Amino acid sequence: MLANIRIVLVQTYHPGNIGASARAMKTMGLTDLVLVNPRDFPHPEASRLAAGAEDIVDAARVVGTLAEAVSDCVQVIGASARLRSMPLPHFDEPDEMARDVVAQAADDPVALVFGRERFGLTNDEIRCCSHQVSIPANPDYGILNLSQAVQVLAHEVFTAWRRRPESDFRLARPDRDRRPSREQLGHFHEHLARVMRESGFITQPHARTEAQLQALFARAEPSRKELSLLRGLLASLEQHLPAPPDEGNGEE
């Protein structure tokens, strides 16, 4: 179960923070580290500050985008010190988040995402997430170091894993109860946007409308079975839409 819980660090500036985060992970039984465009990696400072967790640093995967890092995950939780305009489901308490993460990780990969040291995650990166979580702290000085934030949330996850009820030792859930991956949800939102344009609901790409609908489905948390039903509905609607006009007459 813990092997399904991924830590994703986005554009980490100081390589030492990668090593310190790996150390925080290892103390809590987490091993899957993915780095999105780190400024300087590999680096001796990352290995030095890992202090016994060099194996996690050495096995870390480096990818170009956050979407690539989490495409197979059914739940992606962005750690953020402040709420964004996009109304994603938000965990106010890390222990509540951890219980949900552990439940989902019983069957599928999940990810905890941490942004840059100086300004965290961008709004576009938050849109790659399914949820947000904040770490309660002193309102007059609530700034946590990157590896400290990883340590806090990793500890909450490890605690939830230790305290999970015996009923969680069970067979994998059928697809009808499992959440879709971010890649599957992405294909659905692309399909939905295409049908909205072809039907005339929107006459041009409209980022605000699409973002609001993405937030709506994030709150609804459809299962794989339900998402398949929605894709079937969209495909049926497409069959009854008029064919788009030809852009040319077909002559040379």
Residue 252: the pLDDT is 46
pLDDT over 70 (residue 205): no
The total number of structural domains that make up the chain: 2
Domain membership of residue 249 (yes or no) is no
Residue 212: the pLDDT is 84
Alpha helices in the chain (DSSP H): 15-27, 44-50, 54-59, 66-70, 94-105, 123-126, 146-162, 182-199, 207-220, 224-239
Residue with the larger pLDDT of the pair 188 and 87: 188
Integer Cα distance of 54 and 170 in angstroms: 33
Domain membership of residue 41 (yes or no) is yes
Same-domain status, 182 and 158: no
Count of CB atoms situated within 10 Å of the CB of 22 = 31
Last residue of a domain, one of 165, 200, 225: 165
Mean pLDDT of the chain: 89
Residue 241: the pLDDT is 85
Spatial CA neighbour of 81 closest among 135, 9, 19: 135
Same-domain status, 192 and 160: no
Q: 87 lies in which domain range?
A: 2-165
What whole-number percentage of the chain has pLDDT above 70? Answer: 88
* pLDDT (tens digit per residue) in 9-35: 999 999 999 999 999 999 999 999 999
Same-domain status, 28 and 140: yes
* pLDDT (tens digit per residue) in 63-78: 999 999 999 999 999 9
Same-domain status, 154 and 181: no
* pLDDT (tens digit per residue) in 101-154: 999 999 999 999 999 998 899 988 988 999 999 999 998 988 899 999 999 999
Same-domain status, 24 and 140: yes
